[in-house]
Structure 1
Amino acid sequence: MSELSIELKHMIIEALDLEDISVDDIIDEEPLFVEGLGLDSIDALEIGLALQKRYGITLKSDSEDTRKHFSSITALESLVESQRVK
């Protein structure tokens, strides 16, 4: 688990107020939505706001790319890394 992966997991837990979930419960490659963590569209909005606050990343809610970025922790990690390079 990378440092960024752990940071993203903490961010999701805090943003969504997931009291019964720990960093170790979130598997990097598992889906965040429907299966996996079972998050929904409201959760996606909260995660989007948290990403914007913490990393300055703005995403389009209706974009196919956004869906791909939100598919797993690994995908979110790639998104944050690509934005940091710019």
Structure 2
Amino acid sequence: MFNYDASADLYTKRSGMKAHRKTTYRRFSNAAEAIHFAMESLTPELLENALLEVGEERFTVDQIRSLYDDIAFPLRRNRRDGS
């Protein structure tokens, strides 16, 4: 079972920028907030290139979507695109 309360790191990449500016990083106190931010606040380009790290595990965009859609997801969903 996934631990939505564990701290998490979210990495995003933007294409077309200089190498040292391509990847951005944001730390969250819990994975639920990181997933919520990724699904509801990132642009489609950034979301497609997002990587979530929780402990030693890494999750790609499809896995992030699955965690967001899971019945166990503890936060209210306000998905702006309806997908």
When Rg is computed on C-alpha atoms for both structures, the one with the higher figure is 2
TM range (shorter): 0.3 to 0.5
Which of the two has greater helix per residue?
Answer: 1
- TM-score between both structures, scaled by the size of structure 1: 0.32
